[in-house]
Amino acid sequence: MPLLTVVAIYFILWWTVLFAVLPLGYRSQQDDGEVMIGTVESAPVRFRGGRVILLTTVISAALYLTYHLASTYFGFGIDSIPNFMPTFE
């Protein structure tokens, strides 16, 4: 598989996983009852950027490894997905 394809698939996986990981462990200022002046109530109490990026990277790498093993060693690909559209013959 070409390197650009690997990077593109991983990039798409990473961004998708990022939006799934962001709400994990999220606590807003409203939940804690202490809203700082100048911020909205839905702002996070603590920004956990490093934790979110690390968790996203690990999960994305595991998903890509699963995809790579399934496509390379087991022969699964896009053509293996069943066609759910009816055939009009």
The reported pLDDT for the residue numbered 13 is: 95
Other CB atoms within a 10 A radius of the CB of residue 21 amount to 19
DSSP 63: H
How high is the mean pLDDT in each 10-residue block of the chain (89 residues)? 90 95 87 85 86 96 92 80 70
Contacts of 72 (CB under 8 A, 6+ apart): 1
| pLDDT value at residue 8 | 94
Locate the domains of the chain by residue range.
42-77
What was the pLDDT predicted at 83? 65
At 16 the pLDDT is 96
pLDDT score for 32: 82
